[in-house]
A and B are shown apart, each in its own frame.
Chain A
Amino acid sequence: MNESQFGDKIRHILNQGLSLDSRKAARLQAARELALARKRPEPVGVLASAGVWAGNMAGDFGGWTGLSLRLLVPVAMLLIGFGAIYTWQQNQRAAEVEEIDAQLLTGDLPIDAYLDRGFQNYLKTRAAEE
């Protein structure tokens, strides 16, 4: 006898032992009814297809409340994200300007030297050489 035949025989025997006493059967029935009561209501009539679409859009929330939540939450998150990135960039730019200003003010060279075209060319060629 191979494994599959053996499994079939076991299944046959196990299926004969599925009768339960009335208390356990009643308990399972009560559990089933409780589960059915907790199931989400089915969409009805012409709204069925719209309901399926809304259900897909709304995920686990269900209905129009879920739909609006599902759409509004990501949009709000996106806007907050953009705002945060913009603020961060502004801060970064301000910090860079401050750093350059500080270097200029604390350097040995006078500020006017940076306005000299020849000195700028010298800096560029030196940077290119490095």
Chain B
Amino acid sequence: MASRSELSAFLESVERRAFKQAVFAVRDEEAALDIVQDAMLRLAEKYGHRPAEELPLLFHRIVQNAIRDWFRIVQNAIRDWFRRQKVRSLWTTSLSSLAPGRGEDEDQDPLETLQAADGSNREEAPAEQLERAQVLEIIEQELARLPARQREAFVMRYWEELDVAETARVMGCSEGSVKTHCSRAAHALAAALRARGITL
């Protein structure tokens, strides 16, 4: 049984990568934070009694399921929104002419109220650091563009360093599928990076 300290150390070691993976998938940082929190709670509540060595596979599987759940919820919400919108559109079009104008708000400059990102006023980073940050950003963008299953397989294999069999168990597919997804992801990613002038 994983002790409290083992579980804590494990969660601390994976939470940031899990957050990034959720961001790649859902492209929304707040939703990604919710997904990671949900996965952590599920792991602790349902599998907290399992041995520490089983936690990585369980956690990755829970994260992938939480991401799928999130998409399902969003799809349902979008469907509901369109359904409601159909009803509302009749009222909004007829009442829109009565709504007041934006008035003084139009004179405001959005830049005056825009908050600077943390640390953005620091002195300029060295060119090397900047280039590394740009490469990282491009890789993250291109990873997010990969088809979901390809990205999952590639990230599990090469970022989480799971072997093919473990990745197959997390993804719920055959080892052959994992190899195919990984290979396609690697080729697509390499081609996309090359197209953007990046050589590793």
Contacts and interface: CB of A to CB of B under 8 A. Distances in A.
A3 B136 contact: no
Given A40-B48, A42-B4, A35 B43 contact: yes
A3 B136 CA distance: 19
B8 interface: yes
Contacts of B48: 38-40
Contacts of B58: none
Nearest to B159: A11
Contacts of B15: 28, 31-32
A3 B41 contact: no
Interface residues of B, number: 44
Interface string B126-138: 0000001101110
Contacts of B53: none
A27 B158 CA distance: 27
B68 interface: no
A35 B40 contact: yes
Interface in B5-63: 7-8, 11-12, 15-17, 19-20, 29, 33, 36-37, 40-41, 43-46, 48-49
Given A8-B158, A39-B7, A3 B183 contact: yes
Contact of A39 (B19, B45, B117): B45
A24 B15 CA distance: 11
Contact of A32 (B12, B45, B49, B159): B12
Contact of A14 (B4, B118, B139): B139
27 contacts: A7-B154, A7-B158, A9-B200, A10-B139, A10-B159, A13-B200, A14-B159, A16-B132, A21-B118, A27-B33, A27-B37, A28-B16, A28-B19, A31-B36, A31-B40, A34-B37, A35-B43, A36-B7, A36-B8, A38-B41, A38-B45, A39-B44, A39-B45, A40-B49, A42-B1, A42-B4, A52-B1
Interface of A: 1, 3-4, 6-11, 13-18, 20-22, 24, 27-28, 31-32, 34-36, 38-40, 42-43, 52, 55, 60
